[in-house]
């Protein structure tokens, strides 16, 4: 096999993405040794602690049930900052537009961006626009970068999971991926599922009151809950045990996944977070989430059971036990 080319799977957020980062990008670009990968960089500039993150958005189709590329671009970067426990302050926006793209559609996207930024309480303070010839892009790509303020001394990152921690998710998993998939050309499925795209910083503000009992925050975007938990397990050197019965999943998502042979554990989310919380404060964390509009369906889905080299396993619906690995390649449809 020829390994010289970038494949679509390198952008899946799963194992191939990790390999590309570890083998090529980080060794060549990073000026400091990178220990694990978090959603944002933490900076200390003259005694002021900041979180800094960037993300590019290439979703297809650009409009989908529950949102569009614009609000996704705001919420995604806001959430990356929030997952470090930072308070998002301001964003930059870069557009790459394809010649011939409709101004009306651009305007709709901008309106959603404005609304999403207002809802998250962040300012869009700088930006850039480039246009490429027709056929050299796909209508619109957006990059956003963001800065957030770190106003606490807590250690919240992927390497901080401890044995006993409860794993809490703030609601149903897989909505975003299935909403986008259902809207994709050639797959006329009316699943009724809407993207969960939403800013999570408000929810995080509530969780920060847990203090040192809050160990890890992560948003399970590309690669889904399975890939994110595997990352945490590897970073922290622990075994995560999930309970399939307790996973909150919309019946529509279950249905589409069953038809297409997908596993909801690997389907992308854009308004979900996983919180790993010390067991004695887990009930309180659940309460905090359920009081928030974005956490009504919050549930404990598993716990950290032992120290290990980094393993995720799941007690299945029927009481069996199986391993859970990172997403490999792209999520592919079944063949028969």
Partner 1 sequence: MNYSDVFRDKELVQGLAKRIADLTRGRTEPLVFMEVCGTHTNAIYQFGLRSLLPPEVRLISGPGCPVCVTPNSYLDRAIALCRLPDVIIASFGDMLRVPGSSSSLMEERAKGADIRVVYSPLDAVQLAAKNPDKRVVFLGVGFETTAPTIAGSILAAKAQGLSNYFVLASHKTMPQPMAILSADPELQVDGYICPAHVSAIIGADAYRFLCEEYKVPCVVTGFEPTDVLQGVEMLVRQAIAGESKVEIQYSRVVRWEGNAKAQAMLADVFTPFDAPWRGIGVLPGSGLRIADKYADFDAELAIPVQVEELKEHKGCLCGEILKGKVSPFDCPLFGGKCTPESPVGACMVSSEGTCAAAYKYGR
Which stretches of the chain bind partner 1, using CB under 8 A? 1-3, 5-9, 14-16, 19, 186-187, 245, 251, 258, 260-261, 263, 314-325, 328-330, 332-336
Minimal distance, residue 308 CB to partner 1, in Å: 12
Neighbour count for residue 58 (Cβ, 10 Å) = 15
Contact by Cβ (8 Å): 13, 270: no
Minimal distance, residue 8 CB to partner 1, in Å: 8
CA distances from 150 to 43, 121, 126, 205 (A): 9, 16, 21, 11
Minimal distance, residue 178 CB to partner 1, in Å: 14
Nearer to partner 1, 14 or 70 (CB): 14
Give the DSSP H or E segment for 190. none
Minimal distance, residue 218 CB to partner 1, in Å: 21
Nearer to partner 1, 12 or 79 (CB): 12
Strand partners, 97: 131, 140
Nearer to partner 1, 103 or 334 (CB): 334
Minimal distance, residue 259 CB to partner 1, in Å: 9
Listing DSSP states for 267-331 in one string gives S--SS--EEEE-GGGHHHHHHHHHHSGGGTT-EEEEEEEEE-SSEEEEE-TTS-EEE-----SS-
In 3D space, the residue among 126, 65, 70 whose CA is nearest the CA of residue 97 turns out to be: 70
Nearer to partner 1, 181 or 294 (CB): 181
Q: What are phi and psi of 234, to 5 degrees?
A: -70, -45
């Amino acid at each position: 096999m020829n390994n010289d080319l970038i494949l679509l799977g390198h952008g899946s957020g799963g194992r191939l993405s990790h390999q590309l980062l570890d083998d090529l990008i980080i060794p060549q670009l990073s000026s400091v040794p990178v220990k694990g990968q978090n959603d944002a960089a933490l900076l200390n500039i003259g005694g002021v602690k900041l979180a800094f993150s960037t993300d590019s958005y290439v979703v297809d189709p650009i409009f989908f049930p529950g949102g569009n590329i614009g609000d996704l671009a705001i919420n995604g970067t806001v959430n990356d900052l929030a997952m470090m426990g930072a308070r998002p302050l301001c964003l930059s926006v870069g557009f790459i537009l394809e010649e011939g793209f409709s101004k009306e559609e651009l305007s709709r996207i901008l309106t959603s961006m404005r609304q999403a930024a207002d809802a998250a309480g962040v300012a869009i303070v700088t930006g850039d626009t480039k246009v490429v010839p027709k056929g050299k892009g796909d209508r619109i790509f957006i990059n956003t970068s963001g800065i957030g303020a770190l106003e606490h001394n807590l250690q919240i990152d992927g390497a901080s999971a401890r044995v006993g921690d409860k794993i809490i998710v703030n609601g149903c998993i897989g909505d975003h991926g299935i909403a986008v998939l259902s809207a994709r050309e050639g797959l006329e499925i009316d699943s009724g599922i809407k993207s969960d795209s939403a800013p999570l910083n408000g929810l995080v503000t509530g969780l920060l009151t847990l203090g040192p009992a809050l160990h890890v925050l992560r948003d399970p975007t590309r690669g889904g809950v399975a890939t994110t938990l595997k990352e945490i397990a590897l970073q922290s050197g622990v075994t995560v045990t999930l309970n399939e019965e307790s996973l909150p999943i919309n019946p529509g998502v279950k249905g589409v996944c069953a038809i297409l042979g997908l596993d909801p554990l690997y389907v992308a989310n854009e308004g979900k977070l996983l919180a790993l919380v010390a067991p004695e404060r887990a009930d309180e964390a659940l309460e905090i989430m359920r009081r928030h509009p974005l956490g009504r369906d919050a549930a404990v889905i598993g716990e950290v059971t032992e120290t290990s080299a980094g393993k995720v396993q799941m007690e299945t619906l029927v009481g069996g036990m199986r391993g859970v690995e990172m997403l490999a390649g792209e999520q592919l449809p079944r063949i028969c």
